[in-house]
Structure 1
Amino acid sequence: MRIVQNNLFQKSVNELLVLRELRKGPLSRVKLASLLGLQQSTVTYCTSRLTEAGLIRLTGNKISQRGAGRKPELLAVNPDAGRIIGVEMLRGSYRMSICDILGNLISSDVSLYDDVSSSTQEEMFRARVDTIVGRVLSRCEGTDVWGMCIAVPGIVSLDGKKIIDCWTHGLRECDFSGFLSSFSFPIVFENDANCCALKYVIHGSDIEDDTFLYVRFQSYDGLVLPPGIPSIGIGTGLVLAGKLYRGYRGRGGEFRSVYTSTASGATQLSFSHEELARRHEDPMIMESIVKELLENMMSIRALLDPRTIYLGGFDETERQFLIAGLHEFSDSDETAGFVDSCVIINKAEDDASLGAASLVVDEVFRIPRLGERSDKNTINWMSRAIEDS
């Protein structure tokens, strides 16, 4: 381990290292010292401070060992030390997932927005966020909220404070950093497909440094859409070697079919808005949409070599077309590997909100860099809780 001259920072790092190991499961102090390469006295000091801060606790279980002597006690993260919130803000409703600090889901539900009179779309969006925060505080009364991530369809800045483009809420180039700083806990925004991918970093496979793609198919049928907006939205979340890839400008994951022509007025797929709106009435349109999507995914797979391509957001009817489309691809030896890599998610309703919570959990357990600023607007409350104890 690299030696850092700042003693306070090093103590904080040691404590976070202990927490990161205990996040994987209960361990004894002796085992922690062995895994982390720390002296037992250092581990004892760290665990004492963490216990006092309410971040870890004794499990009540002891390790069986041969011979006489005191049996080592097991320590574990206290999941109820705080609450992590993930929210997906759709056009007509929002879904909220409340999790413990390990990312385990406690509750999830969908609510309609309250009627709000406002002069601009941005004002309405702020009022909706304010209402959601109030509901969070009410639901989590008596327990600290350590952070919240709000998933939105569209492009979000790398720092999570600015929404660059989100048609569902009529937002363009909106900086919310001042607004978000007014709340008692840190809040950030993230693209919804990115959040879906993040869910599978924590709640997916046990493969370390996993590489996969999450394709989100979002239908806006039945909603009053602004002019020029299609009834289908497609987003992709890309995880490379266990880390979400946001791209150089934070615009990674924006889907655009290779068959799309700018002159046609189409945006993500090569179909007109009218054709997309008629896809449930005309099976041939839906078949063509699925085929075009899968052909694009096959090219992306050849380029990035992901382990898995998760396909989520399709309703029951759309999933049948998707299954049929994959079956056609499986007839060829050249595409059989692509089909095997695809996983259709039948229940994806909580993926974005749970993934948003997963983003916060990742930040909570992230070891800060030396000199990195941390305040009430920073999702790194675990470090602050230790320092304040």
Structure 2
Amino acid sequence: MKLVGNSRYQKAANGSLLLDFLRRSGGASRRRISRELGLQPSTVTYIVNRLLQAGLVVESGFGGNDPADSSDEPARGSGRRATRIVINPTYGAVIGLDLQADYYKALVTDIAGEEIVCVHREYHAAAAGFEALFSSVLAEVESRIPRNMPVLGAGVAIPGVVDPEGPVIEECWSHNLTGAHLGEFLARTFSYPVLMENDANCCAWKTLWYDSRDEDDSFVYLLPRFHRQELLPEGYPSVGVGLGLVYNGTIYNGFTRRAGEFRSLFFEESGNVPGQIALTPLEMNRVSRDAGIRRKLVVELLRTLILFMHISNPRALFVGGDLSSEGDLIRRVLEEDLRQEWDALARSGVQVEVLGNAEYDAARGAAAAVLDTLYSIPRIGGREQDARIWRSLLTNLID
């Protein structure tokens, strides 16, 4: 179904524009929507009526309840006060799934991005094939969603190199996958669209959607993960490090989608087992229990990243994952171990923010990546995966 360049595309594009305004504003009258978006009142009336029919929005109270609508008055002689249009939170649910080798974390939102359900469970991924694990986890999460809310889509965060277009997991050592083409499996198994993305990129999506200061924000999201060695493929490191890179409001994937694949300045490759940091396997297995080893890891990570941030000049470095509770440690490392390097970087305005509650960031960001396709107008020549999700979510509006 071709959308670009025809009236159906324009209707749905205007619908996305209007929905995004309602999401950001929390609701508005038709007059305010027309005024703020620069759309003709007749166009707003048509779109709102279609959205009401589809159930994507509902009427709620009067426009006068919103200070920004205080200038709204009923049309002369109508005798009616302006009603507010708000997004319908029960229209449908979006699943965000963080699928790791030894656990999963899922967060389900409504179409406004508000949390409905969150789930966390540990397992031994190697006990089942990847597709079987994938199917059983999503089925388990679906069972927790209220029955009156259909699933509109799912975003799945996976460590490693992921191409969402295929989707293809090009390389994921924690699930022992290489070149895994999943498009046919997803189409055969799920009735809703599924978007797959790198887990650190999903954390960046979460920050963009919920915490970003402006639409042109630039930042780095550091995602260290400490895994249980006995639940990983034999010989693979139990510490993984990913980076989500955002420049001018856009996630940067790199030429071959490997941007953000961390590699320490101090790592020395040996053999065929992948690695990223200079800690020994024994140290990695003890990092969650040994404060001295954690400090050694933090020094290595930050010493490498400070050089990178001098070159790329982001606004901030966000630290999440399994170091999100280590604010005091990171502050001490910057002030004591890396003072000279950090002072030079801080003078350029870069900030380091340790996220105290980042446990579900990858899952929340995976859901946000799906929601973004509902609230963004697809670009001509953009990703076909985005267009498929967009068509699915807005099918009641454009048909």
User: Structure 1-normalised TM-score?
Assistant: 0.87
- Matched AA of 1:327: E
Give the deviation of 1:117 after TM superposition.
6.3
> Matched residues in 2 for 1:127 and 1:321: separation?
40
> Matched residues in 1 for 2:329 and 2:55: separation?
51
Give the deviation of 1:203 after TM superposition.
1.3
- Matched AA of 2:395: R
Q: For residues 281-320 of structure 1, what are the structure 2 equivalents within 5 Å?
A: 285-315=293-323, 319-320=327-328
> Matched residues in 1 for 2:14 and 2:290: separation?
61
| 3-state SS in 1 of match to 2:117 | strand
> Matched residues in 2 for 1:254 and 1:319: separation?
23
Match of 1:121 in 2: none
Give the deviation of 1:316 after TM superposition.
7.9
| 3-state SS in 2 of match to 1:134 | helix
| 3-state SS in 2 of match to 1:79 | coil
Give the deviation of 1:318 after TM superposition.
5.3
- Matched AA of 2:142: L
Does structure 2 retain, via aligned residues, the 8 Å contact 1:185–1:377? no
2:227 equivalent to 1:220: yes
Does structure 2 retain, via aligned residues, the 8 Å contact 1:186–1:376? no
Does structure 1 retain, via aligned residues, the 8 Å contact 2:202–2:361? yes
Q: For residues 104-253 of structure 1, what are the structure 2 equivalents within 5 Å?
A: 104-113=114-123, 124-140=129-145, 141-159=147-165, 161-182=167-188, 183-221=190-228, 223-253=230-260
Does structure 1 retain, via aligned residues, the 8 Å contact 2:102–2:124? no
Give the deviation of 1:223 after TM superposition.
3.2
Give the deviation of 1:322 after TM superposition.
2.3
> Matched residues in 2 for 1:115 and 1:56: separation?
40
- Matched AA of 2:223: R
- Matched AA of 1:22: L
> Matched residues in 2 for 1:74 and 1:100: separation?
19
> Matched residues in 2 for 1:223 and 1:66: separation?
63
Question: Compared with structure 1, are the counterparts of its residues 250 and 375 closer, same or farther at alpha carbon in structure 2 (3 Å cutoff)?
Answer: closer
> Matched residues in 1 for 2:378 and 2:47: separation?
17
Give the deviation of 1:168 after TM superposition.
1.6
Task: For structure 2, list consecutive stretches of 5 or more residues without a partner in the other structure.
Answer: 65-69
2:326 equivalent to 1:325: no
> Matched residues in 1 for 2:382 and 2:294: separation?
50
Question: Compared with structure 1, are the counterparts of its residues 38 and 87 closer, same or farther at alpha carbon in structure 2 (3 Å cutoff)?
Answer: same
* More displaced stretch, 216-225 vs 326-335: 326-335
- Among 374, 377, 391, which residue is 1:364 paired with? 374
Does structure 2 retain, via aligned residues, the 8 Å contact 1:165–1:172? yes
Give the deviation of 1:375 after TM superposition.
9.8
Question: Compared with structure 1, are the counterparts of its residues 297 and 57 closer, same or farther at alpha carbon in structure 2 (3 Å cutoff)?
Answer: same
Give the deviation of 1:157 after TM superposition.
1.1
Give the deviation of 1:88 after TM superposition.
0.8
- Matched AA of 2:180: C
* More displaced stretch, 211-220 vs 21-30: 21-30
User: Structure 2-normalised TM-score?
Assistant: 0.85
Give the deviation of 1:366 after TM superposition.
2.3
| 3-state SS in 2 of match to 1:277 | helix
Give the deviation of 1:349 after TM superposition.
0.9
Does structure 1 retain, via aligned residues, the 8 Å contact 2:17–2:376? no
Match of 1:8 in 2: 8
Does structure 2 retain, via aligned residues, the 8 Å contact 1:149–1:356? yes
> Matched residues in 1 for 2:295 and 2:194: separation?
40
Match of 2:395 in 1: 384
> Matched residues in 2 for 1:354 and 1:41: separation?
36
Aligned length: 380
- Matched AA of 1:162: V
- Aligned alpha-carbon RMSD (Å): 3.0
| 3-state SS in 1 of match to 2:284 | helix
- Matched AA of 1:301: M
- Matched AA of 2:393: M
| 3-state SS in 2 of match to 1:328 | helix
Match of 2:67 in 1: none
Cα-to-partner distance string for 1:76-97 (whole Å, 9 max, x where unaligned): 2212211010011122221110
Give the deviation of 1:269 after TM superposition.
1.6
Does structure 1 retain, via aligned residues, the 8 Å contact 2:223–2:321? yes
Does structure 1 retain, via aligned residues, the 8 Å contact 2:106–2:118? yes
| 3-state SS in 2 of match to 1:71 | coil
Question: Compared with structure 1, are the counterparts of its residues 383 and 319 closer, same or farther at alpha carbon in structure 2 (3 Å cutoff)?
Answer: same
Q: For residues 69-88 of structure 1, what are the structure 2 equivalents within 5 Å?
A: 69=76, 70-88=80-98
| 3-state SS in 2 of match to 1:367 | coil
Does structure 2 retain, via aligned residues, the 8 Å contact 1:213–1:310? yes
Question: Compared with structure 1, are the counterparts of its residues 266 and 128 closer, same or farther at alpha carbon in structure 2 (3 Å cutoff)?
Answer: closer
| 3-state SS in 2 of match to 1:201 | helix
Give the deviation of 1:285 after TM superposition.
4.2
Cα-to-partner distance string for 1:81-120 (whole Å, 9 max, x where unaligned): 11010011122221110101111111212123489965xx
